[in-house]
């Protein structure tokens, strides 16, 4: 059964590069705020030197964080843009490859700031009306902010 479903139309595709040393999540959220993007799909590729990933413990309802430092290729980073507390919120998952070609992945956490190079593609989406927007709200069952 589907809990939430909204219809969107593709609006504009934005492509760009994040600044060296920038925070991936904060940069994308700021870009969305400045460009009035309230919903979207985003992909990022590139490399970073430091960051934090996490997984969500479903029983304890808490994130476990794993700080990373070293040279990492961003093999894949994708997620969505929706609203949380009225502001653009980037929910991203990432897969990284280290210098030994080993991969690690998880939920990307704010503070992933040591970007060496990163390019993004952001598909901005528009609903028919503001009531069609997806807004994250606390979900008692999971302990997460969900649509």
**Under CATH, which number does the domain 11-126 receive?**
3.30.1330.80
Q: CA-to-CA distance for 99 and 51, rounded, in angstroms?
A: 15
Instruction: State the pLDDT at residue 129.
Output: 64
pLDDT along the chain (147 residues), means of 10: 82 94 95 96 95 95 95 96 96 97 95 84 84 88 94
Instruction: Say what the pLDDT of residue 12 is.
Output: 94
Quickly tell me which residue has 């600044």 as its tokens: 19
Structure-block tokens of residue 30: 């700021």
The ranges assigned to domains in the chain are 11-126
């Amino acid at each position: 059964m589907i809990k939430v479903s909204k219809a969107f139309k593709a609006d504009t595709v934005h492509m760009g590069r994040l600044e060296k040393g920038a925070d991936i999540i904060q940069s994308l959220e700021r870009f969305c705020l400045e460009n009035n993007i309230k919903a979207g799909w985003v992909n990022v590729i590139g490399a970073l030197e430091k960051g934090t990933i996490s997984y969500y413990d479903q029983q304890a309802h808490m994130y476990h964080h794993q700080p990373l430092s070293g040279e990492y290729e961003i093999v894949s980073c994708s997620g969505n843009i929706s609203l949380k507390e009225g502001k653009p919120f980037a929910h991203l998952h990432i897969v990284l490859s280290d210098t030994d070609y080993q991969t690690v992945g998880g939920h990307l956490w704010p503070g992933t700031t040591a970007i060496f190079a990163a390019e993004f593609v952001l598909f901005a989406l528009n609903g028919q009306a503001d009531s069609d927007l997806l807004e994250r709200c606390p979900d008692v069952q999971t302990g997460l902010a969900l649509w």
